[in-house]
């Protein structure tokens, strides 16, 4: 992470989080479920190429800070597939 990037760290005690009637835990569970569900839909509605291009557009400096292996993992593809995809995109941009 670059020093110019802002981040937020939230600390939650396990005992507070695990209470079934806790407003905080219910809110977090719902939020996490929504995030996972949205990602599941996104992965199935968009092609690998669309997901890669959207990721690079959203985070232009990503390739400078994250390995291609990690990007491939995030996209749920193999590093070899990512390499082929990047080559294909590069060739399209040349024409």
Q: Whose structure tokens read 């839909």? A: 41
DSSP 44-94: HHS-HHHHHHHHHHH-TTHHHHS-HHHHHHHHTS-HHHHHHHHHHHHHHHH
List, in order, residues 6 or more apart from 85 with CB less than 8 Å away.
Answer: 48, 49, 52, 77
Q: What is the pLDDT of residue 1?
A: 45
Q: Whose structure tokens read 């590069």? A: 90
Kindly indicate the confidence band of residue 33, based on its pLDDT and cuts at 50, 70 and 90.
Answer: very high
Kindly indicate the confidence band of residue 14, based on its pLDDT and cuts at 50, 70 and 90.
Answer: confident
Per-residue pLDDT tens over the stretch 41-94: 999 999 999 999 999 999 999 999 999 999 999 999 999 999 999 999 999 988
Full-model pTM: 0.69
Kindly indicate the confidence band of residue 16, based on its pLDDT and cuts at 50, 70 and 90.
Answer: low
């Amino acid at each position: 992470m670059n020093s110019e990037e802002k981040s937020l760290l939230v600390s939650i005690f396990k005992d507070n989080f695990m209470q079934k009637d806790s407003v905080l835990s219910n809110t977090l569970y719902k939020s996490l479920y929504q995030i996972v569900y949205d990602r599941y839909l996104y992965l199935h509605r968009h092609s690998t190429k669309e997901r890669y291009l959207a990721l690079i557009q959203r985070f232009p400096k990503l390739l400078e800070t994250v390995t291609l292996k990690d990007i491939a993992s995030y996209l749920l593809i193999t590093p070899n597939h990512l390499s082929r995809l990047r080559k294909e995109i590069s060739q399209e941009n040349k024409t």
